[in-house]
Chain A
Amino acid sequence: MTEAIRTDALVKTFGHTRALDGLDLTVRTGEVHGFLGPNGAGKTTTIRILLGLVRADAGTATLLGGDPWRDATVLHRRLAYVPGDVTLWPNLSGGEVIDLLGRLRGGLNEQRRADLLDRFDLDPRKKGRAYSKGNRQKVALVAALASDVELLILDEPTSGLDPLMEQVFREVIREERRRDGRTVLLSSHILAEVEALCDRVTIIREGRTVETGTLGELRHLTRTSIQAELAGPPAGLAALAALPGVHGLDVQDSRVRFDIDAGALDAALRHLTAVGVRSLVSQPPTLEELFLRHYDSTRAAGGRHAEVPR
């Protein structure tokens, strides 16, 4: 399988801040890759390095088989980019910006442009200053998605879109996935979106990669949450607490809750069946919990009560 993007041990410092600290990212050709991280984790810096706008201090980056810094203009013909914070020229209409950016990239699919304008419900005649934040975002999205390119780099593309438009965005990206050879790098905060769209995910924190893989793989690496109602008094459960891989055991009357590492599930269940099980709920971790475990270690240790603020 070929790789559309590969970075190895990227380092970038701004003054005293180490924005990237050995970041690894691999995006395979044809996949939709989720790029997750809290504010300031280095997502935008990574994307700017991939676009040849910012030069890495150390490490290597390869984009579509080329050097993103040296071959920038050649590579840019083959990709489209949506920045996280879109500002438009106040005196150019949205339609003019879409056409201009498409042409500067080397052309744009007229029919797809019309289709996208329709689906995103965007009036292309308004001047740049008259658009709301969400509509500015749509202008950049239409400009990028209407181009016939191999790679889409989207930096938090749905910030400012309403739920209806977010739905449209998901549909469009799913269609992209069906088209052969199109690769999407999607940086996002909206975990449900990443869960719905992405084949593989990379989670970064403080400029370093902390997890990467398919959602299934990531789930396998983490804990499942168990809730059980037992038939008898949970007297013999002291041994369960001592079992390696059991976290946050919480016993109330005959109810038991705990989180369990994937490898220890079998042994733990045997403890429960020894007492007798009336009902059992097993929940695989959501992406939100994966995310939280990496960013908020104290709450993650406390178990699954965490709610992810949107």
Chain B
Amino acid sequence: MTTLTGTGKLVRLILRRDRLLMPLWILFVGLLPISYASSIADLFPTAAARQQYADVSMNNAGFVALYGRLFGSNLGELVTWRAGFLPVIIGLISLLTVIRHTRVEEETGRRELIGATVVGRHAGLAAALTATFGANLVLAALLALSMASQHLPATGSIAFGVEIAAAGWIFATVGGVAAQLTDSAGGARGIAISVLGAAYLLRVVGDLSGEGGGALSWLSWLSWLSPIGWVQRIRPFGDERWWILAPAAGLTAALATAAVALSARRDVGAGLLPPRLGPATAAPSLRTPLALAWRLHRGLLAGWTAGFAVLGVVLGGVAESVGDLLRDNQSLQDVFARIGGSAGVIDAYLAAVMGILGLIAAAYGIQAALRLRSEETSQRAEPVLATAVGRLRWASSHLIFSALGPALALATAGLIAGLTHGLNTGNVGRELPRVLAGAMVQLPAVWVLAAIAVALFGLAPRLAPASWGALAGCLLFGLVGATLQLSQWLLDISPFTHIPKAPGAAVSATPLVWLVAVVVVLAAAGLIGLRRRDIPLT
């Protein structure tokens, strides 16, 4: 028996387990560039319009940070640039997939079940990498077809597919190495995502220094330290530099070898880094349900707040340039006016962006509220409720985070977006409060979504995940409702329809008060249901 015996069977097991997830992300990411290509072709129909768009974009720090450097102005290059965040997303998906099929399997003990059968010691790792590599190849082919379907040159289309897949391959092996280091999947994810984040940051710093030829342009080599920077320099639809695939393939091979070598040096279930021990006794403050909830929610809170801070920088940073872009482009103005109001180009953009932030924050609100349900189904609620803690006290300890967590995230994004936009326009005093208000005004709608989750949790706990469906509905109505000419009463179902489009439009209190009233009714219904029902109800 060699160390790879059984790899094929394990690959099939992975494909069987991911038979929904994998096709879903491949299709979604694979078809996404079609929408980029068609919308860019629509909005900038002439070469001159594209050149102007490229000139603005090339010199905007926010865009360069988010997407990378723009190397030319033909349609293919614009689409590739617009898809500049895809390598990060595919890197993330790839490393998560590998960890999911290696370290998670070990942590849950399923690896042992399989390890006791006729399976070589490296088969698990090899299967996870093979499946992820294969998925990325399929994705590359689909991306190339998508681009070609938009009448873009075949060579560039293939180069574009390969660019994204190369990022996937490299970060799949990063996940493979990280999975060997710690004994917890959470720790492995943390390490691998940190590496991805560092690669992204290096790319951002390098590209920003290179842009515009300023005093720091000598730092642009930093982009060459980042695998994300490499793959973007393949330059599809420009002068395709195929040789960059050589270092990418080399790094992939080196990391895969390292992962195998590391896995040979450790026991099943153990990591190379020793597990960290916790305190032997609890801190004096850990004595209330709220203190417990803080321990369970603080990671989530920090993650969402940090994410919103980054969104604030990017969205606030590009506001001024978006204004430049929109002023000469009627069709783009219409798009923003539809979702952001018609009070002026930049305000319309900001209001539209705040509405999107509101929807994202609602996802956090729902996630935090559903923590109650996962505590219940995992039977961690039972020991707490068997102490002198009442049901309402237990529930409210979690719901505080569902209500105030999104508030903190939105405030952070609003403050930072307002600050960056204010610094760009030279008028912080005017922009900061306006943008912050635009963010905070989303809260009642965010709370409605969280309250739907609470109501379902209390009254029909098995249906609690349906609250994600409610969010999807709001997303649909908000983004395509007006385009599809849905009738107003249908749009009115979404709480976000009733949020004033600030900054720009006047903020009137009436709809906000109504939404808060809805929140109170839904949450009260959920809590009353919780007091009456059996726990756990699985």
Contact = CB atoms under 8 A, between A and B. Distances in A.
A90 interface: yes
Interface in A78-122: 79, 81, 83, 85-101, 103-106
B281 A92 contact: no
B276 interface: yes
Interface stretch (A24-32, A51-59, A182-190, A278-286): A51-59
B483 interface: no
Contacts of A38: none
Interface stretch (A124-132, A219-227, A240-248): A124-132
Nearest to A96: B282
B488 interface: no
Majority DSSP secondary structure for residues of B touching A: loop
Interface string B275-291: 11111111100111101
Contacts of A74: 388
B281 A101 contact: no
Contacts of B532: 55
Contacts of B534: 48, 53-55
B275 A76 contact: no
A89 B380 contact: yes
Interface of B: 107, 183-184, 186, 275-283, 286-289, 291-292, 295-296, 299, 378-380, 382-390, 532, 534-536
Given A53-B386, A87-B380, A100-B282, A125 B277 contact: yes
B278 A93 contact: yes
Nearest to B392: A73
Contacts, number: 113
A53 B388 contact: no
A98 B295 CA distance: 15
Nearest to A82: B383
A140 B383 contact: yes
Interface of A: 48, 51, 53-55, 72-74, 76-77, 79, 81, 83, 85-101, 103-106, 124-127, 129-130, 140, 143, 153
Contacts of B383: 81, 83, 86, 101, 140, 143
Contact of B289 (A86, A104, A124): A104
A42 to B, nearest CB: 14
Contact of A76 (B276, B291, B387, B536): B387
Given A104-B389, A105-B388, A96 B287 contact: no
Nearest to A83: B382
A91 B295 contact: yes
B295 A106 contact: no
Contacts of A92: 278, 295
26 contacts: A48-B534, A53-B534, A53-B535, A54-B534, A54-B535, A73-B388, A76-B389, A83-B379, A83-B383, A89-B380, A90-B184, A91-B296, A92-B295, A93-B280, A95-B281, A96-B279, A96-B283, A98-B282, A100-B291, A104-B288, A105-B387, A105-B388, A125-B279, A125-B280, A127-B276, A127-B277
Contacts of B390: 72-73
Contact of B388 (A93, A106, A124): A106
Contacts of A91: 295-296, 299
Nearest to B534: A54
Nearest to B386: A81
Contacts of A81: 383, 386
A6 to B, nearest CB: 19
B382 A53 contact: yes
Nearest to B387: A104
Given A53-B535, A83-B379, A83-B382, A99 B281 contact: yes
A153 B383 CA distance: 12
A99 B282 contact: yes
Q: Which of B296, B384, B387 has the most CB of A within 10 A?
A: B387
Given A53-B382, A53-B385, A96-B278, A90 B286 contact: no
B281 to A, nearest CB: 5
Contacts of B291: 100
A27 B279 CA distance: 38
B289 A90 contact: no
B111 to A, nearest CB: 15
Q: Which of A53, A54, A88, A153 has the most CB of B within 10 A?
A: A53
Contact of A93 (B279, B296, B379, B386): B279
Given A54-B535, A89-B295, A99-B286, A127 B389 contact: no
A48 B291 CA distance: 25
A11 to B, nearest CB: 14
Contacts of A86: 383
Q: Which of B277, B288, B384, B536 has the most CB of A within 10 A?
A: B277
B296 A89 contact: yes
Contact of A87 (B277, B278, B379): B379
A116 to B, nearest CB: 13
Contacts of A103: 282, 286-287
B286 A93 contact: no
A170 B474 CA distance: 58
Contacts of B289: 104
Given A89-B380, A130-B183, A51 B386 contact: yes
Contacts of A126: 275, 277-278
A92 B291 CA distance: 12
Contact of B287 (A54, A72, A104, A127): A104
